[in-house]
Amino acid sequence: MSIPEENQRTDAVVEPGPAASAPREPLFNIPSAVLLMIALCVGVHLVRLYLLTEEQDIDLMVRAAFIPVRYSGEYLFDIYAVTSTVTYAFLHGGWSHLIVNMVWLAAFGSPLANRMGPWRFFAFWLVTAWGAVALHYALHTGSEIPLVGASGAISGMMGAAARFGFQIDRRWGQGRFSGPPLTIAESLTSRTVIVFLVVWMAVNLISGMGYLTPEDMGAVAWEAHVGGFLVGFLFVGFFGEVRPRAVRMA
């Protein structure tokens, strides 16, 4: 099943503590779990660009991208039908798609990873990536267009941020979402959260219609963004948190 490159579909779519005990936060404070995800996404993109031939890259896309028609019964159900529900998130349609996603991953993934710890964060990435492809598949069951990109999972991180009301606790020198998650009712009555939801949905719908996106990003799968966001928003409370380590001041 050969998929032309031009048809690739991308899913690209404070609570401060006491000043006396708060260490000075570094300019770049990205946890190792987030750095690992960024390194994987960038590394895969570099391999595709500089180490694979065009034919090899198409073969990789067929095997690693999420292609809805693979599950229609017309094709043999193989291991790639299982693994592509995860591997698609590490492929990107171009440099613009990759860079935009990595910036948002650093911004929303860092306080979430600092709160959850690396293993819960990886599990959260996995579940939201599945949520993204689930909604995308439900709306595009017979599509042969491959879905690639990390922004379904990143949208899940944005949904999680909304449940915390975007409140960041910096007392431990990390920058982590603070307090227990808001209830869904509390989230939907928060002016900050409501404004964010309206703007976020508007941007996704506009970009899904082909506006506000660079030419090398291709079509934006806003449905995958919504799927990932809903999973992150609804289920972030199940992923718990790690206790922050106290910072000793000299």
User: What is the tens place of the pLDDT at every residue in 81-137?
Assistant: 999 999 999 999 999 999 999 999 999 999 999 999 999 999 999 999 999 999 999
* Beta carbons within 10 angstroms of residue 47's beta carbon: 13
**In terms of Cα–Cα distance, which of 5, 11, 30 is closest to 175?**
30
Q: Is 205 exposed, middle or buried (0-12, 13-18, 19+ CB in 10 A)?
A: middle
193 contacts 233 by C-beta, under 8 angstroms:
no
pLDDT at 207: 81
Q: Which CATH architecture has domain 14-239?
A: Up-down Bundle (1.20)
- String of DSSP letters for 118-143: HHHHHHHHHHHHHHHHHHHHHH-TT-
The residue ranges of every structural domain in the chain are 14-239
11-54 tens-digit pLDDT: 543 333 333 333 444 435 899 999 999 999 999 999 999 999 99
Residue 217 has pLDDT above 70, yes or no: no
Q: How far is it, in rounded angstroms, from Cα 79 to Cα 85?
A: 11
